[in-house]
Amino acid sequence: MDLETERRQDELLEMLWRLHERQDVTLTALRQNDTDSRYEGYLQEFANNGIVRWEGGRILFSKEGEQRARGIVRRHRLAERLLVDVLGKLPQETEIVACEFEHIVAPELVDAICTLLGHPMTCPHGQAIPEGACCQKKQQTVDTVMIPLTQMACGIKVKIAAIDTRDPRQLNRLLAMGLTPGTSITLLQKKPALVIQIEQRQIAFEEAIGNDLRVWLQPTTSSQ
């Protein structure tokens, strides 16, 4: 199989995974998402090779197909997380690089990146990142560079690295409060509620929100 065909097939698997997340894995939905006629030929190849199967009008992954699609999506969304959280890119700037990343990075490196980022649950667009073995084992073979806000000591100024929640309402609430990646905050107290300071404002919220806020482990400054 040539490289271009392999990439096209990976793109189809990624598209099928996204439809799977929406619980609408049908040929009609696939056609609505992409007009590339080659995908239907690849889909038939997948069926012949046992990667997918038909059940009525639905397209279902085999175990092998699900593992392959999961790996592609995991690499793509971790790449987006890396680009935004570490390299400071905007979410809308990540698609092209993430697409390249998903084809060329070895699984061992993917798990190292995931551990480095603290096993994030979502990509910058709020979509779930499929878990890897490192997430299930919570390996610390690579020191993480970001931790939940609740693990920081009080009185230290840090920057928000990521919002790690799968609840879109929670995400919107945090963004509305000004708690966006790159924002500098100082944790003032942990009990009975978390209190942080952003510039001249103080905000109090429950511990669960503090667990969703990932901050860079290296403080920006130290308060006296």
Q: What is the CATH number of the domain that holds 197?
A: 2.30.30.90
Do 113 and 159 share a structural domain?
no
CB within 8 A of 64, min separation 6: which ones? 50, 51
- Within this chain, do residues 114 and 48 fall inside the same structural domain, yes or no? no
- 84 with 124, same domain: the answer is yes
**pLDDT band at residue 144 using 50, 70 and 90 as cut-offs:** low
Biggest alpha carbon–alpha carbon distance for the chain: 67
In a 3-state reduction of DSSP, which class is residue 12? helix
CA distance 145 to 20: 32
pLDDT in tens, 16-56: 999 988 888 888 888 887 666 677 788 888 888 899 998 88
- Nearest alpha-carbon partner for 78 in 32, 111, 40: 111
Q: 110: which residues sit within 8 A by CB, 6+ positions away?
A: 71, 74, 75, 78, 132
DSSP letter string, 104-141: H--HHHHHHHHHHTT--SB-TTSPBPPP-HHHHHT--S
Distance, CA of 89 to CA of 47 (rounded, Å): 38
pLDDT of residue 138: 63
Q: Are residues 131 and 77 in the same domain?
A: yes
pLDDT value at residue 188: 93
Q: pLDDT band at residue 100, thresholds of 50, 70 and 90? A: confident
Does the structure show a pLDDT above 60 at 224? no
**Domains in the chain, number:** 3
| Whether the predicted pLDDT of 153 surpasses 50 | yes
Structure tokens at 101: 């990343």
Domain boundary at 137, 159, 180, which?
Answer: 137
CA atoms within 13 A on the CB side of 29: 16
Domain with 194 in it: 146-222
pLDDT digits (tens, 9 = 90+) for 159-203: 887 777 767 777 778 888 888 777 889 999 998 889 999 988 999
Give Cβ neighbours of residue 51 (< 8 Å, ≥ 6 apart): 13, 61, 62, 64, 65, 68
Give me the CATH number covering residue 110. 1.10.10.10
